[in-house]
Amino acid sequence: QSPSIVERFDEIITQPGDSVSLRCVSQAAPLAQIEWTLDGSPIPSSTRYRFGDFVIKNYHQKSDQTLLISHLNITNARIEDGGLYRCTARNLAGSVFHQARVNVVGKGSIKLLTPNITAVAGTDLQLNCPYYGYPIKSISWFGKDGLKRKLPINDRQTISSNGTLHIR
C-alpha cells in the first residue's frame, strides 16, 4: 500500500533564536522512508538541524500497517531558515508529501533561484519564488524582455497569493 500522511505540521511563525519542531507521520505497508526538503532542496547540513525517526510496526491488530514518525528539529532558528518545508513519504508502492511554511520574523530576501528552467511548449509551468523573512508584503515577477515589465502582462500568466507564477 502506498504511504499516506496521517499527521502533518502546520504553517508557523517564529522568532529568531527559537526552536522549531516539525512532525510528519506516515502510514504504509511496506514501511515508508521520509525525506525532508526546504524550498525543494535537501536540508542544509548543520548542527542546528536534527532528524529523528521512530517506527511502530503493526500498530493496528488487524493490519500490517507501519507508522513512521519523523521529526525535523531546528535549534536557534535564523531568518534564512524560513521557507517551504516538505516531508515526502516513499515506499515501493508510491509516494505522498505534505508541505507548509516556516516563517522566521525578520527582513525578507529571495533565495537563489534556478538560473535556467526548460519547459515544453504548450504545457503549463509553475515557478516558485523561494524566500525567507516575515512578514512579506508581496512578491512581484518581472519579464526579461528588455522592458522589465511587471507580470502578468496577459491572461496566460497569473500569480498566486504565495507568489507562485503560473504560465499557461
The pLDDT tens digits of the residues spanning 9-19 come to: 999 999 999 99
In angstroms, what CA-CA distances link 32 with 70, 98, 101? 11, 14, 23
Instruction: Give this prediction's pTM.
Output: 0.85
The pLDDT tens digits of the residues spanning 82-109 come to: 999 999 999 999 999 999 999 999 999 9
The pLDDT tens digits of the residues spanning 137-150 come to: 888 888 877 667 88
C-alpha cell at 54: 521512530
Count CB neighbours of 75 within 10 A: 14
Rounded to whole angstroms, the Cα distance separating 12 from 144 reads: 34
Domain 4-104 homologous superfamily, CATH:
Immunoglobulins (2.60.40.10)
Question: According to the model, what pLDDT value does residue 26 have?
Answer: 96
The beta strand positions in the chain, using DSSP E, are: 4-7, 12-14, 20-28, 33-38, 41-42, 49-57, 66-74, 83-91, 94-104, 106-110, 125-127, 131-134, 157-159, 165-167
The pLDDT tens digits of the residues spanning 117-134 come to: 888 988 999 888 899 999
Instruction: Write down the domain spans for the chain.
Output: 4-104, 107-168
